[in-house]
Chain A
């Protein structure tokens, strides 16, 4: 069978699956779903189907992005739309299946939504969920919908149509199309993709390489993992298109070793491509030949940088080198090389399938199209979202993300990982675009968004990121190697209450020097978390330095716990739970914390019953309490209050 025939069959099969004569059960089983227990559901579902003698297909799908609702199970009855159920447990999944497939009751009270144009049996539309409604899903269109281990599903939903279209054009026309779409690099700085491709196309040389950067190293980011696990063929199609446009014959996918499932799925996808004639020599009987190899990273953040990544593929330490020459002129083995991020490649496939104008119809003036973001931290709806560029932060955090848990106040959102910055509440109306984020001192990065609330100390966050960049600095250039070390020392002092008044300005000076003097992006952006936290939260730095006070009550060395004599009823819970044996007390005697023994683990505060709330956490102040246990007064007072 040639590709066209296979494609026809795949499309027909997909439609058949959508309409099908048998019920189907979809289980979200990417890493998040698995961690939430998705695979434990399979056995229960199979047993339930067998018990009722129901013939049904079980389809494993990737991640739809609603990580906080995992595990997700969708059920389709022949002739009816797909109904999605959230937070499914081994205990209730049998009941859901029995009710719907046997008793024809879709349990609307348990259903999350229905994947169709109209509501059904009292179940609202899935796409109307607050987390999904503002989203525009282009790169994630297949995620959670298809089985990522089946190339037929990808092709059945239009996959590799972009490649077919590209092969009907000249390489120059393909580059023109990508330029027209306005696509910019989705991995970091946002360089125009079409221009980058053109540089590589025009570079002299017979052998050219393309590389997919899947070394998603930013802590707090998982967009690429999700896409690799949920729809691996999308980026592979993009790579074929890029190879055709640039005249490359060899390709590498550099993927983190921390993502075993992603590696597994990529390997399987490549095998399928071989069977379908989509990789190797003369792909789809054209003059395009591409050989793709997978390289597993070995755990070095700096390898996200282009020249370090190339060094790593060549078998060396992942250390960056000065540019120029840029990889487009002299990259892997000295040959012209183009490196794009996972999402950029996948976007290129969508653009070629549906056209540059369609793609450019989404997004903002200078930042076209959509971008995926990983929402995490102190936010209700954690997960993966895709929105048009230009969407305000407020919309992403409050509408899609559902705001901050436990009624706490929003303090900051951190974008762009260790190279990015912390943006305060006053910037919530900022539109998420490459330029606006840069102006605010942050970067788009690969799309991590970690939300912080009032309990997060911004000095501690800066210290956290510097710990990271300092340990990940490759050590090649002095400003980064020594500079980040010095900045970390100062930040550690400040969080311990040992900061000097001049330290804050010293941090700013060091930041400028490191930015200006470092060799690669890691060093040049390492000070960003410090610069933005000083810029927007200087008062927190001042409180640490001048008053030895941590306003967020987070820095261990600056906080203290006290048991309030007028509230303690001597119930003994804190005394029994204190891991440091730092609490003294007895029956009917108010308990007392020995400050010299206290490790500030917060156990006493956590276990003290809310109705008593007798433990206070403070910073920068002392509460006057007796030095030794004294008779309880709280109960007497309560009795008096009750009698009144």
Chain B
């Protein structure tokens, strides 16, 4: 682990009591800081909370939010909720894949973009929806995917 990451962890850990039930909030905070959860960081957390590595692996792969691999600077999420589905989310995802040159769940090689589909954003009235970082784009069409993402490939 590099020094910077180690320092980050030493900043975060004192805010926790080191109890097993703190696992999920701790993983969330560490991921928010580092972007993803590298293996050596998971091992550190396992020591700190006295939670077996196997449990840590189980929890971090159970929840969709946790990433074990680096993600892009920009996160592009395409909603595939029911309302989005019947209003053409599949085409939006396809177009985003084409624009970014990656598949659902992948990250571009230059670590600029990650693309993932999400179960539901709860912005169903604006279906289909695409979210770039925190900005929600409603009533998407393939043409609007081009506008939002440009020629990012």
Contact = CB atoms under 8 A, between A and B. Distances in A.
B23 A417 contact: no
Given A67-B126, A312-B24, A461-B86, A318 B138 contact: no
B21 A258 contact: no
Given A219-B81, A219-B82, A376 B64 contact: no
A68 B91 CA distance: 22
Interface stretch (A31-39, A236-244, A633-641): A31-39
B102 to A, nearest CB: 17
Contact of A217 (B28, B98, B120): B120
Interface stretch (B3-11, B55-63, B68-76, B106-114): B55-63
B137 A317 contact: no
Interface in B92-131: 94, 98, 118-127, 129
Nearest to B129: A35
Interface string A333-364: 00000000000000000000000000000000
B150 interface: no
Which residue, of B25, B51, B129, has the highest number of chain A Cβ atoms within 10 A? B25
Give chain B's interface residue range (CB within 8 Å of chain A). Answer: 35 or more
Contacts of A378: 86-87
Interface string B118-153: 111111111101000010111000000000000000
B21 A220 contact: no
12 contacts: A31-B122, A35-B137, A220-B120, A222-B123, A296-B25, A299-B63, A377-B83, A377-B87, A378-B86, A382-B124, A452-B86, A472-B119
B15 to A, nearest CB: 14
A498 B92 CA distance: 27
Interface of B: 20-25, 27-28, 51, 55, 58-59, 62-66, 80-87, 91, 94, 98, 118-127, 129, 134, 136-138
Contacts of B55: 316
A228 to B, nearest CB: 10
A601 interface: yes
Contacts of B136: 31, 34-35
Contact of A219 (B20, B24, B80, B91): B80
Given A67-B125, A376-B125, A450-B124, A299 B20 contact: no
Interface string A298-332: 11110000000000111111100000000000000
B64 A68 contact: no
A194 to B, nearest CB: 29
Contacts of B129: 35
Interface of A: 31-32, 34-36, 67-68, 216-222, 225, 256-260, 295-301, 312-318, 374-378, 382-384, 414, 417, 448, 450, 452, 456, 461, 464-465, 468, 472, 474, 579, 601
A317 B20 CA distance: 12
B54 to A, nearest CB: 11
A450 B86 contact: yes
A376 B82 CA distance: 9
B138 A35 contact: yes
Nearest to B126: A35
Given A317-B58, A450-B86, A452-B86, A298 B28 contact: yes
Nearest to A258: B121
Nearest to A225: B122
Contact of A315 (B23, B66, B81, B138): B23
Given A315-B23, A317-B58, A32 B123 contact: yes
B66 A298 contact: yes
Contact of B119 (A219, A225, A375, A384): A219
Contact of B65 (A257, A313, A374, A468): A257
A220 B24 contact: no
A550 B46 CA distance: 52
A450 B25 contact: no
Given A313-B21, A315-B22, A259 B82 contact: no
Contacts of B126: 32, 35-36, 67, 382
Contacts of A34: 136
A528 B149 CA distance: 38
A376 B85 CA distance: 11
B28 A258 contact: no
Contacts of A32: 123, 125-126, 138
B33 to A, nearest CB: 15
A317 B62 contact: yes
A257 B120 contact: no
Contact of B124 (A220, A301, A579, A601): A220
Given A31-B136, A298-B63, A382-B124, A217 B119 contact: yes
A218 B120 contact: yes
| 4 cross-chain pairs, A with B, having the tightest CB-CB distances, nearest first | A67-B125, A299-B64, A219-B81, A298-B63
A257 to B, nearest CB: 6
A465 B120 CA distance: 12
Contact of A316 (B59, B87, B119, B123): B59
Given A374-B124, A384-B125, 10 more contacts: A67-B125, A217-B120, A218-B120, A222-B123, A257-B65, A260-B134, A300-B63, A377-B127, A465-B82, A468-B119
Most buried by B among A222, A297, A312: A222
B63 A318 contact: yes
A315 B19 CA distance: 9
Contacts of A260: 134
A258 B118 CA distance: 9
Contacts of A216: 122
Contacts of A474: 62
A283 to B, nearest CB: 25
Contacts of B138: 32, 35-36
Contacts of A219: 80-85, 119-120
A456 B83 CA distance: 11
Nearest to B60: A298
Contacts of B85: 219, 461, 464
A314 B59 CA distance: 11
A220 B81 CA distance: 6
A450 B83 contact: yes
A299 B124 contact: no
A314 B120 contact: no
Contact of B86 (A31, A36, A456): A456
A461 B82 CA distance: 8
A216 B86 CA distance: 20
Contacts of A35: 123, 126, 129, 136-138
A172 B23 CA distance: 38
Contact of B83 (A225, A300, A316, A376): A376
Given A300-B62, A314-B21, A318-B63, A222 B82 contact: no
B82 A417 contact: yes
Nearest to A63: B125
A383 B119 contact: no
Contacts of A220: 81-83, 120, 124
Contacts of B121: 258
Contacts of B81: 219-220
